[in-house]
């Protein structure tokens, strides 16, 4: 099996749904980093069968809201001296601003730069957000 | 409870008690308009109509003039600075110094809410795209109150364009908050209420909804029939409009099976969805509804301006 060494200090984004790792890598702009970062794909997982993992050897300020939006199954581990210092479980954010646009072409946010929609998660079992201006539901897709 | 200085962008901006306060004052004004003829002396209503409107604009203007106030504004975005590319925020920042209350109609959904974020005077949504039309809702509510005595225990049918009809969306959301209201939604499959609104009515308000394509099927059971026009201006192509425009036509013979105390309402203008032979049926109240709309707008402005 492919082996990748642990990191002494940095961040491990674990339990990424297999197939989403590359998109998350790009979304977090990790390809612009100057420090080592690896993306592991299709790693065997007891829970999900397969998963993706990202390891970053840096003190990066990760946007947990965007990660929660992309994949709420993710856990983010902060590593110091080869040990997990902090473990963050993610959840789907209740409020989102600036991460995606309202899908309604008649919404004021599509033409007026002063109007930045705040989206509120709708409790209907889907990842759908209600626009604060036009109330249309937008489903987030990576 | 004071409405002074508040905006009315969405009917849900007001509690049921506040809506009732506006309706009650509107009915008093309707009974005795002369008593309120100087209520808004020295006050100015600014009318910002980015989209053509006859009824709503003139209803607002009549309302302000009947209270002794003045009006200024534009009724065509092509003749205003909007044509030059001015943002809503900039327009509002200037006009809120020129008027004491502003009414805005805009083709973009959410535009009045954006205006309310920059205005120092009350903003009234005069209709935004296919989204909301809260003062039409007030008009509908005052008419129901006037003819039924109270707004509860009603089966309300909406017929026609339920997809783009902002008057329908506003009234559905608002009536859902009143006691024991259920809905019959009559439309062609292409013009059913938007998904987000159905989701809200069912999950948030938990109201009973029946969806049907037949106008006749539920007519004997309903208390209020709210007819709407298929709006040509909301369609991207004329073919779709022509296919749907004659979907429902209410005539006198269809009304034979309806309740004696049914109320037939329509936000107007109508095209052909209500035959002229219905007009003198005592159940047809859409012209009285338009009249009451002036008085409820008088009450709204008087309360937002803090003069009532």
CB atoms within 10 A of CB A84: 12
Closest in A107, A113, A137 to B109, CB measured = A107
B88 touches A112 (CB < 8 A): yes
Q: Is B252 a catalytic residue?
A: no
How many CB pairs below 8 A link A and B? 66
B110 touches B166 (CB < 8 A): no
Contact yes or no for A115 and B196 at CB 8 A: no
Integer angstrom CA distances of residue B210 from A59, A94, A136, B151, B195 = 56, 31, 22, 20, 15
Contacts of B199 in chain A (CB under 8 A): 122, 124, 137
Q: What is the CA radius of gyration of chain A?
A: 17
Residue list, annotated binding site of B for L-aspartate? 84, 166, 229
Residue list, annotated binding site of B for carbamoyl phosphate? 55-56, 105, 133, 136, 268-269
Contact yes or no for B88 and A112 at CB 8 A: yes
Query: Measured in Å, how far apart are chain A's first and last C-alpha atoms?
Result: 30
B4 touches B305 (CB < 8 A): yes
The torsion angles phi and psi of B123, rounded to 5 degrees, stand at -105, 130
B227 touches B188 (CB < 8 A): no
The model's pTM: 0.88
Contacts of A133 in chain B (CB under 8 A): 109-110, 113-114
Domains of chain B: 11-132+291-304 (3.40.50.1370), 135-289 (3.40.50.1370)
Closest CA to B56 of B111, B150, B134: B134
Q: In chain B, which residues have pLDDT < 70?
A: 1, 79-84, 233-236
pLDDT tens digits, B115-167:
999 999 999 999 999 999 999 999 999 999 999 999 999 999 999 999 989 99
Please give the distance of CA B140 from its chain centroid, rounded to a whole number: 7
pLDDT at B176: 97
Question: In this predicted complex, what is the ipTM?
Answer: 0.88
Closest in A114, A135, A137 to B114, CB measured = A114
Q: Is B54 a catalytic residue?
A: no
CA distance B222 to chain A (A): 29
pLDDT bucket at A136, cuts 50 / 70 / 90: very high
Dihedral sign, Cα of residue B66, residue B67, residue B69, residue B72: negative
Contact yes or no for B110 and A133 at CB 8 A: yes
What order do you get walking across the sheet with A83-89 strand by strand? A37-45, A49-56, A10-17, A75-80, A83-89
Mean pLDDT of chain A: 90
pLDDT at B79: 66
Contact yes or no for A108 and B203 at CB 8 A: no
At B52, list the tokens. Answer: 């053509």
At A87, list the tokens. Answer: 């473990």
Contact yes or no for B108 and A112 at CB 8 A: yes
pLDDT at B252: 95
pLDDT at B141: 98
Per-residue HEC secondary structure of chain B comes to: CCCCCCCECCHHHCCHHHHHHHHHHHHHHHHCHHHHCCCCCCCEEEEEECCCCCHHHHHHHHHHHHCCCEEEEECCHHHCHHHHCCCHHHHHHHHCCCCCEEEEEECCECHHHHHHCCCCCCEEEEEECCCECHHHHHHHHHHHHHHHCCCCCEEEEEECCCCCCHHHHHHHHHHCCCCCEEEEEECCHHHCCCHHHHHHHHHHCCCEEEEECCCCCCHHHCCEEEECCCCHHHCCCHHHHHHHCCCCCECCCHHHHCCCCCEEECCCCCCCCECHHHCCCCCECHHHHHHHHHHHHHHHHHHHCCCC
Q: Of B77, B108, B127, which to mutate for an interface test with A (greatest number of A Cβ within 10 Å)?
A: B108
Q: What residues pair up with B109 in beta bridges, in sequence order?
A: A107
Contacts of B107 in chain A (CB under 8 A): 106
Q: What residues pair up with A130 in beta bridges, in sequence order?
A: A120, A137
Query: Measured in Å, how far apart are chain B's first and last C-alpha atoms?
Result: 12
Is the pLDDT at A47 greater than 90? The verdict is no
Name residues whose C-beta falls within 8 Å of residue B14's C-beta, 6 or more positions apart in sequence. Answer: B3, B6, B8, B22
pLDDT at A31: 87
pLDDT tens digits, A52-86:
999 999 888 888 888 888 888 899 999 999 899 99
**Beta strand pairing status for B263-265 and A37-45?**
unpaired
């Amino acid at each position: 099996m492919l082996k990748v060494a642990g990191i002494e200090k940095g961040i491990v984004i674990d339990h990424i749904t297999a197939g989403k790792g590359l998109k998350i890598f790009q979304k977090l702009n990790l390809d612009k980093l100057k420090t080592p970062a690896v993306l592991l794909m299709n790693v065997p997982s007891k829970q999900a069968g397969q998963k993706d993992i990202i390891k970053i050897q840096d003190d990066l300020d990760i946007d947990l809201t965007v990660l929660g939006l992309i994949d709420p199954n993710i856990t983010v581990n902060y590593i110091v001296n080869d040990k997990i210092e902090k473990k963050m479980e993610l959840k789907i954010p209740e409020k989102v601003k600036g991460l995606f646009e309202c899908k309604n072409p008649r919404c004021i946010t599509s033409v007026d730069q002063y109007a930045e929609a705040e989206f509120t998660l709708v409790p209907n079992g889907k990842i759908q957000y209600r626009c604060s201006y036009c109330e249309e539901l937008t489903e987030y897709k990576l | 409870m004071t409405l002074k200085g508040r905006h009315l962008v969405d009917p849900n901006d007001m509690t049921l008690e506040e809506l009732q306060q506006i309706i009650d004052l509107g009915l008093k004004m309707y009974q005795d308009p002369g008593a309120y003829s100087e209520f808004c002396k020295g006050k100015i209503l600014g009318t910002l109509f980015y989209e053509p409107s006859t009824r709503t604009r003139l209803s607002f203007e009549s309302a302000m003039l009947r209270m002794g106030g003045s009006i200024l504004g534009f009724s065509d975005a092509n003749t205003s600075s909007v044509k030059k590319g001015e943002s809503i925020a900039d327009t509002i920042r200037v006009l809120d110094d020129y008027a004491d209350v502003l009414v805005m109609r805009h083709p973009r959904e959410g535009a009045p809410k954006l205006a309310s974020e920059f205005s120092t005077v009350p903003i009234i949504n005069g209709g935004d795209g296919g989204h909301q039309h809260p003062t039409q809702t007030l008009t509908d509510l005052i008419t129901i109150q006037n003819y039924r005595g109270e707004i509860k225990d009603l089966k309300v049918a909406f017929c026609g364009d339920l997809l783009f009809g902002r008057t329908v969306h506003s009234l559905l959301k608002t009536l859902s908050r009143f006691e024991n209201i259920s809905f019959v939604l009559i439309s062609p499959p292409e013009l059913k209420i938007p998904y987000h609104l159905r989701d809200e009515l069912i999950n948030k308000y938990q109201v009973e909804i029946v969806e049907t394509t037949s106008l006749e099927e539920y007519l004997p059971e309903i208390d209020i029939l709210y007819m709407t026009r298929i709006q040509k201006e909301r369609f991207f192509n004329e073919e779709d409009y022509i296919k749907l425009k004659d979907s429902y036509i209410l005539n006198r013979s269809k009304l034979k099976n309806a309740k004696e105390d049914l109320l037939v309402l329509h936000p107007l203008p109508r095209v052909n969805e209500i035959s002229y032979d219905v007009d003198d049926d005592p159940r047809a109240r859409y012209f009285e509804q338009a009249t009451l709309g002036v008085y409820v707008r008088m009450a709204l402005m008087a309360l937002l301006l803090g003069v009532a």
